[in-house]
Amino acid sequence: MPTIRLPVGNGRLEAYRTGDPKVWPAASPPYNRVAFAAAHVVADPLADHDPWLEPAIDWDATMAFRRHLWGLGLGVAEAMDTAQRGMGLDWPVSRELITRSVAAARDFPGAVVFSGAGTDHLQPAAALGLDDIVAAYEEQVGFVEGLGGRVILMASRALAASARGPEDYAAVYGRILGQVSEPVIIHWLGEMFDPALAGYWGSDDHAVAMETCLGVVEDHAGKIDGIKISLLDKHKEIAMRRRLPAGVRMYSGDDFNYPELIAGDTEGHSDALLGIFDCIAPAAAAALGALGRDDRVAYDEIMEPTVPLSRHVFKAPTRFYKTGVVFMAYLNGLQDHFVMVGGQQSARSLLHLAELFRLSDAAGLLADPDLAAARMQRVLAVHGLAN
């Protein structure tokens, strides 16, 4: 196994020897949990553009990554925050991404894709009226459904900026849910992922906000497949899960505590719609297979080593987690470069990336340690460090 000198702080480098890669059992869907990976996009490093101002996507590599996820029996949650939606990826490019993914899913047996629809083509402002926000949602929902796609109803920065209270959230969501053709997934994205969404559902207190959200779900349960909450708090997710109407799923968005939430308890379980599943897809598929065989020991043995990695990837400032997601894809040969939309490969430090390398190895998630070490060395060299 290769040895590489990695930074450890205080300007020092220490030798690190990788372990043997794990050989995961073949994916065995269908699983007894619904499981989506929120998928990242692969930037085009050779495009002639201004990276901070306009996204450029390598469509072939981006679609190949989605086929990788489908091949493991995972669904794809498309054009979400993991794809840098609203954080480098604008609505015009998102439309093309959704179009390509929905089309690709038709050619892949068993593939499932749900796509994000929101209001990100609106500039958030307090002066926006509810009709403006509803019209923006209608445009994006109509686009996804017009392709024959399924919708993830994303949180709206515009609504967060202009809502006067909980009643405005209930009014907007009620109008949209009254129109959808098929049940949607609602995404409550917390302010740790996007500071512009602070106070969503009309309150800075998550417990109060949850009451408003639950009221919307209860009033429109027939139009809701499930809800994903991304608050990084297992107690809040469990509390809400226990109050959902029959037939409405809880999709875990807790990248800190997902193994126990997916496994569940005597009162229920969460399904999965997770950004970390982009990184740990082979392990996640193997663990879900074990859970389906009622082998909780194997499930825990696979999942638990991924948790330190996930907590590192999603550490504060959490909104920069996409950098770790793309870096892992680069280390594992799932894309040929470490370049991101908006230049966000620079959003995490070299020390952060070095620790991600070590934690990935500890979880058995470096598919080819020689390749991963060689690619890590290239990143070190860019930072002026030679091995």
Residue 135 belongs to what domain range? 24-306
Segment 336-360, tens digit of pLDDT: 999 999 999 999 999 999 999 999 9
Record the tokens describing residue 380, joined without a space: 């070190």
Q: Is position 339 within any domain? A: no
pLDDT of residue 30: 94
Q: Is position 16 within any domain? A: no
Q: Is position 1 within any domain? A: no
Q: Over range 54-83, report the average pLDDT.
A: 98
Q: Is position 150 within any domain? A: yes
User: Which residue intervals of the chain are DSSP H helices?
Assistant: 59-71, 91-106, 130-146, 157-162, 166-177, 206-219, 234-241, 258-263, 276-279, 281-292, 296-303, 306-313, 321-331, 350-362, 369-382
Entry pTM: 0.96
User: In sequence order, what are the residues at sequence separation of 6 or more whose Cβ sits closer than 8 angstroms to the Cβ of residue 138?
Assistant: 176, 179
Q: Is position 18 within any domain? A: no
Nearest to 154 by CA among 137, 174, 138: 137
- The residue ranking higher by pLDDT, 308 or 25, is 308
pLDDT of residue 11: 84
Query: Is it the case that residue 10 has pLDDT exceeding 90?
Result: no
Average pLDDT, the chain: 97
Q: Is position 126 within any domain? A: yes
Q: Over range 10-15, report the average pLDDT.
A: 92
Query: Is it the case that residue 386 has pLDDT exceeding 90?
Result: no
Q: Over range 312-331, report the average pLDDT.
A: 98
Query: Is it the case that residue 180 has pLDDT exceeding 80?
Result: yes
Positive or negative, the CA dihedral 120, 272, 233, 282 is negative
Q: Residue 172: which CATH number? A: 3.20.20.70
Of all residues in the chain, the percent with pLDDT exceeding 90 is 95
Q: Is position 365 within any domain? A: no
Positive or negative, the CA dihedral 197, 203, 206, 209 is negative
Overall domain count for the chain:
1
Q: Over range 180-192, report the average pLDDT.
A: 98
Q: Over range 103-131, report the average pLDDT.
A: 95
pLDDT of residue 9: 86
Q: Over range 168-180, report the average pLDDT.
A: 98
Q: Is position 65 within any domain? A: yes
Record the tokens describing residue 280, joined without a space: 């740990």
pLDDT of residue 280: 98
Q: Over range 108-135, report the average pLDDT.
A: 95
pLDDT of residue 385: 86
With b meaning 16 or more CB within 10 Å and e meaning fewer, what string describes 243-267?
Answer: ebeeebbbbbbbbebbbbbbbbeee
